[in-house]
Amino acid sequence: MAAGTVLSRKWQPPVSALSFTAWQLTAGGLILLPLALIVEPSLPPLTVTNLAGLAWLGLIGAALTYAIWFRGVARLEPGAVSMLGMMSPVTAVILGWVALGQSLSLLQGLGVLIVLGSVWAGQRANRPTMPAPASRRRAPIQLTERS
């Protein structure tokens, strides 16, 4: 993801963010397909529930989020945007804790705080520094005689 963030900023794709995202996800899926078939050779049955879950993950969880991501990368500095990638696991942990009642261990809570602190520090580091205030003393005015 890091390489894609930087390279997509350097080499602007000739297609829309949605098309670019679709091609990246398709290529990634095709690369991972042989490994998936080796690790999990028997596929689960194709039920309506499984297909709905797959559609949700593919369309909302991947295509939409990556399209938004690459639109942001095209408009913002990669250094500022890349720090936000660390928020994905934090969001998942917090949503699991709040929405699903999953337990949150002390170590996980500490990890969330470390990531939040890192994102905060990274965002502060990317801010441009303000120049020192100019001297209040003005340059002397040059007087010339008119002829």
Does the predicted TM-score (pTM) go above 0.75?
no
Instruction: Give the list of residues 6+ apart from residue 50 with CB closer than 8 angstroms, or none.
Output: 44
Q: For the stretch 14-28, what's the b/e string if a residue is b when 16 or more beta carbons lie within 10 angstroms of its beta carbon?
A: eeebeebbbebeeee
Indicate the average pLDDT of the chain: 79
Q: What is the mean pLDDT of residues 59-88?
A: 78
Q: Is pLDDT larger for residue 79 or for residue 40?
A: 40
**Are the C-beta atoms of residues 70 and 20 closer than 8 Å to each other?**
yes
- 3-33 residue pLDDT tens: 666 666 666 667 776 777 778 878 888 999 9
Helix (H, G, I), strand (E, B) or coil at 8: helix
- 121-140 residue pLDDT tens: 887 766 666 555 555 556 66
| Selection from 16, 28, 129, 120 nearest residue 74 by Cα | 16
